[in-house]
Chain A
Amino acid sequence: MCPKCHVSARKWQRSVEIFEYRIKPLKSKVTFDFRCKNQNADEILNFLKVLESCFKIQLRSVSVDLNNDASLVIDIPDALCERDMVKFTVHTKTTLSSFQKPDFSVPRQHEDFIWLHDTLVETEEYAGLIIPPAPPKPDFESPREKMHKLGEGEASMTKEEYAKMKQELEAEYLAVFKKTVQVHEVFLQRLSSHPVLSKDRNFQIFLEYDQDLSVRRKNAKEMFGGFFKNMVKSADEVLISGIKEVDDFFEQEKTFLLDYFSKIKDSTAKAEKMTRSHKNIADDYIHISATLNAICAEDSTANKKSLEKLSDLFEKLRKVEGRVASDQELKLTELLRYYMRDIQAAKDLLYRRARALANYENSNKALDKARLKSRDIPQAEEHQQQCLQKFDRLSESAKKELTSFKGRRVMAFKKNLVEMAELEIKHAKVSLTAHPIKHTV
């Protein structure tokens, strides 16, 4: 029983099903780690609000931990980068009997993830679900380009300058690497935490099959087929948007998602540009610091000390700028990018539902025609019933999915925006302490 609000623990347990919490005293902070089984975001948020008011604690971060079901825990503990290919080690721990072993790992390539995603998308049963977006291809283009430029400019730099630039480059490379691992991991974790998708047979194969999956992967013909399908789909989208929506909820969602998608796509691009500018500034600081060093090495005047301090300052500042850039990228750009893809997945769901609606309406028309001709009426009726059932099922499932999607999205935005603001403050304070001038922080 909660001492403050006298709410029975059992009540909370029922709705939220907490099964684990840890208290980690950390200097002046106490950390509560809750793993909630229930996926209903609203319930979780309500619970947390009550906690906040009861214990007068400030919830600093909501860990959107997707490994909430101990029966199936997936992570990518390491990955290998070979030229253009990244090999991920997918590690699974499970208590489910449907798997052969309780703890196992398999190597997987990026293409395997794509195969899994596309297979799920094409599975008829899951038409009413938001399929988590496929992870993007690992993109080492940017650090590679930088490395090329660095190699070209090596002659004009001092040894230290070159070493520092290389360091920055390596950090960037590592950041891209970490990002791609994370994004692949999150994809699998979203699948494992979904009540329906986690039971998918192909998913199990992906996790378990210890041979190369390339046999099952799309071969050229299938890929071409997929491309063709996409083309047809977009033609359809134009068609279907002409169909009158029967449900207000979906009408609203459609308008909202279409609009939001274009806005978030734009924001992602602009955020990326901002991050790149920050990185450029950090690089400039490296050059400035190095040149200042060279000047003050030769300087014997009273300027020497102040030039040294200035050079030191730029060296410290460039690290801070680099941190600011990468944090901004993680918290802002990546957030926007991820949800852009997620919204695309939600749009796909809406599209599938609209398709089902179109099919239903077509079946209605066919039934009317059959009745007119007094021929094949039972088949037409049967067909119409099927379409209706499918449509209803889809609508119901879609409603649930879209509602929980919104909650998830809001939580993730909150978490990331709060963290980004805190990091910006932290970095600005750090750069202030690096200054040789005394000032009020």
Chain B
Amino acid sequence: MTDTAREPPPLHTDFHEVEDGEDLFPESPAAQQPQPASLPALDISTNSNGPKQDSLMDDDPEDLFAGATEEVSLDSPERDVLLSDGPSPAITPITPPTSVIAPRIGHAHDDMFTHSSFDEIEEEEGGDSFDVHISVSDPEKVGDGMNAYMAYKVSTKTSLSVFKQRDFSVKRRFSDFLGLHSKLASKYLHIGYIVPPAPEKSIVGMTKVKVGKEDQSSNEFVEKRRSALERYLMRTVKHPILLKDPDVLQFLENSELPRAVNTQALSSAGILRMVNKAADAVNKMTIKMNESDAWFEEKQQHFENLDVQLRKLHASVESLVCHRKELSVNTAQFAKSAAMLGNSEDHTALSRALSQLAEVEEKIDQLHQDQANADFYLFSELLGDYVRLITAVKGVFDHRIKTWQKWQDSQVLLLKKREAEAKLQFTNKPDKLQQAKDEIKELEGKVQQGERDFEQISKIIRKEVGRFEKERVKDFKTIIVKYLESLVQTQQQLIKYWEAFLPEAKAIS
């Protein structure tokens, strides 16, 4: 009977309504109500979570985690109810224009732990409403042998008018994502927009899947890729300009998409890309820009440092993931060995205790495995994404330098032409003179354009970097909280397991 009380009124998909009257967690009066969906800060009416909102309003910088008064107690039946009756992660509550929802990572119990109280309340220019949620799911193998590929279902749920429907899905394959990225990059990168990079190709991983190896590592590979694709799309649509791009809309909406062939690694386009990259790298080293704007210099330095640090951190976290996986394997092996030892032990109480020890260790090994996954999917992938993102940011800065170079080049050319014209003045070649004057006019136009371009790209970059930093802060905060919670959970489970074992050990006589 408690279930019916807990079930949200069937007509409303919006949990906001439920919060108004009903107390979802009657047993814990003192506990803060965990919000099943991330309700935006501004929208909370006074009758729910009053004290919590006060602390948020203060935005106490000291206790950053004040809002996270989630009672992470594992026995709470409410949690199970939430997991079973709760909304699927894809449902987005209707939010007012000024807050942003943190990206979901696709786990069912995300809703419990998303803390909207972390969202910064700020005005965004233009009052963009952000209400798009994309999920990538159901990887399916299509075809056979070397021509096989994985098709992913891309589901979009939105209330924005720029989309034709509110809730729709399409099937896409990995090269489609890469194709989208390359189109966006060619359109926007050189103007200064930070286009989120697509997940990396992996020939080895993909070949395993194609060949049909149904083992743990290929499953993990597919899951890793699915998660990365989801994050990629969410980042892309969060960008206000990219969201409105027709290629993006087409990608999300059209049931059929022309195959992007030039994204293949071993194609001619691929090789051309690599050559271009190398050329760019050489150019970068030779261009020396007179930076008049200290802001850019500072930011560039900042991103360089951040890049180095994040790479180092990423490497450490990857090592942690690897070691934790090792720990899980070793614990499992020890559990088996302890079980065998318990079997051959002839003292009954000790034998029982050893078998119990084996069971505890087996559960613990699963715990370590889960924690390693959290380590990876939350922490390590976040860092990997940001390492790639910062590469994109650096690319944008490089484009600015290129634009400046172009401008300078045309200025130099103009000067030369002017000198040539001046020389021509003294000779008697009227048609050549006219030609020179035309060229000069053209060049003057170019120079002006160059200057405008440069200013434009600088302006855009400033805005983009501001947006990027904001996003980064938000992203990191959310993920850090989630990750900490996973650590807490692991420790609590550990305590439970050992406390269950203790009486068995004491019972040995």
A interface with B by C-beta (< 8 Å): 45, 49, 256, 259-260, 263-264, 266-267, 270-271, 273-274, 276-278, 280-281, 284-285, 287-288, 291-292, 294-295, 298, 301-303, 305-307, 309-310, 313, 317, 406, 410, 413-414, 417-418, 421-422, 424-425, 428-429, 431-432, 435-441
Contacts and interface: CB of A to CB of B under 8 A. Distances in A.
Contact of B69 (A259, A271, A298, A438): A438
What class of interface size applies to chain B in its complex with A? 35 or more
Contacts of B498: 421, 424-425, 428
B480 interface: yes
B288 to A, nearest CB: 25
Interface string B482-507: 00110110011011001101100110
30 contacts: A45-B509, A263-B340, A264-B341, A266-B337, A267-B341, A276-B330, A277-B323, A287-B319, A288-B320, A294-B312, A295-B306, A295-B310, A301-B472, A306-B65, A313-B484, A410-B349, A410-B508, A413-B508, A417-B353, A417-B357, A417-B508, A418-B506, A428-B495, A428-B498, A435-B487, A437-B70, A438-B69, A439-B73, A440-B71, A440-B73
Interface in B458-492: 469, 472-473, 476-477, 480-481, 484-485, 487-488, 491-492
Contacts of A313: 484
Nearest to A266: B337
A360 B324 CA distance: 57
Main secondary structure of the interface of B (DSSP, over half): helix
Contacts of B502: 418, 421-422, 425
A260 B344 contact: yes
A273 B326 CA distance: 9
A421 B346 contact: no
Contact of A285 (B320, B334, B357, B509): B320
B250 interface: no
A271 B350 CA distance: 18
Contacts of A432: 488, 491-492, 495
B116 interface: no
A274 B472 contact: no
A437 B491 contact: no
B316 A436 contact: no
B334 A273 contact: yes
Given A301-B469, A417-B357, 7 more contacts: A256-B344, A277-B331, A309-B65, A417-B508, A421-B499, A432-B491, A437-B65
Nearest to B492: A432
A350 to B, nearest CB: 15
Contacts of A274: 327, 330-331, 334
Interface string B382-403: 0000000000000000000000
B415 interface: no
B350 A414 contact: yes
Contacts of A435: 484, 487-488
A421 to B, nearest CB: 5
A270 B472 contact: no
Contacts, number: 177
A285 B316 CA distance: 8
Nearest to A433: B491
Contact of A302 (B62, B120, B302): B120
A307 B480 CA distance: 8
A303 B470 CA distance: 10
B252 interface: no
B313 to A, nearest CB: 4
Nearest to B353: A417
Interface in B127-153: none
Contacts of B480: 306-307, 310
A284 B65 contact: no
B346 A256 contact: yes
B371 to A, nearest CB: 10
Contacts of B472: 301, 303
B317 interface: yes
A207 B349 CA distance: 39
B338 interface: yes
A404 to B, nearest CB: 14
A431 B484 CA distance: 12
Contact of B481 (A301, A422, A437): A437
B64 interface: yes
B330 A260 contact: no
A126 to B, nearest CB: 26
Which 8 A-B pairs give the minimum distances between C-beta atoms? A277-B327, A270-B334, A414-B508, A284-B320, A287-B316, A417-B505, A280-B323, A440-B73
